[in-house]
Structure 1
């Protein structure tokens, strides 16, 4: 399994990606997300590929994208995180989040924190993020579908 930045030649993978109405209660579709990525140089679409299949998708948003969630100028926001409906329950989201710190350090060497917002009712996602090392610091923000919990993951290696 690998993470890669979206390129135009990946459109066929995006076309085959299945996202349900239920999932869209909490996230944005890859197609909609890519439209925003193409208009904003601080947004980067990331594809999680297993063999030749797109299994998970998310966007990394730098600079002003992080502002509603963190005052850390070296943070990056994970947004529009989803797993293809037919690939759910296979551990892809968890593996993607485990691969993400090294991917960030390679492509964004100045970033020292991952930040995300998760809808308060979406307890399954909150549980997944906690298992992957994200911390709920008790901050809340206003999302486009109500209140969201802000969670973060430090990329600063402790010397312990």
Structure 2
């Protein structure tokens, strides 16, 4: 499994990605997210591929995007995280989140914290993030539909 930055040549994968109305209650579709990425150099669309199968999508948002969630200038926000409907329950989300810290260290070496907002009713996602090392420090933010629990994963920098 690997994480890669979105490129226009990936549009055929985006077209085939299945996201349901139930999922859209908690997240934004890859198509909508990519439109925002194209307008904002601080947003980076990430595709997670299992061999050539596109299974997970999310956006890493730097700088202004993080501010409603963290005062840490070295934090990056994970947003619009979703799993293709037909690939849910296969462990892809957990595997992607476990690969993410190394990906961030490689491509964003100045980042030491991953932040995300998870909808309070979305207990399945909260459980997944907790298993992957995210911590709830009691911060909350306003989401589109629900209040968000703001959680963080701290990237330990290795001494040189």
When the two chains are superposed, the root-mean-square deviation of aligned CA atoms in Å is 1.1
Secondary structure of the 1:98 match is helix
Tell me what 1:3 maps to: 3
Secondary structure of the 1:141 match is strand
Tell me what 1:106 maps to: 106
Shift of the alpha carbon at 1:37? 0.2
Q: Distance in 2 between matches of 1:27 and 1:60?
A: 14
Tell me what 1:19 maps to: 19
Secondary structure of the 1:69 match is coil
What is the TM-score with the length of structure 1 in the denominator?
A: 0.97
Contact 2:70 2:115 in 1 (8 A): yes
Q: Distance in 2 between matches of 1:34 and 1:54?
A: 15
Shift of the alpha carbon at 1:157? 4.4
Q: Distance in 1 between matches of 2:62 and 2:51?
A: 29
Contact 2:30 2:57 in 1 (8 A): yes
Q: Distance in 1 between matches of 2:80 and 2:40?
A: 15
CA displacement 1:72-106 (0-9 Å, x = unmatched): 00000000000000000000000000000000000
Shift of the alpha carbon at 1:51? 1.2
Contact 2:66 2:76 in 1 (8 A): yes
Shift of the alpha carbon at 1:16? 0.4
The answer for unaligned runs of 5 or more in structure 2 is none
Shift of the alpha carbon at 1:53? 1.1
Matched pairs, number: 159
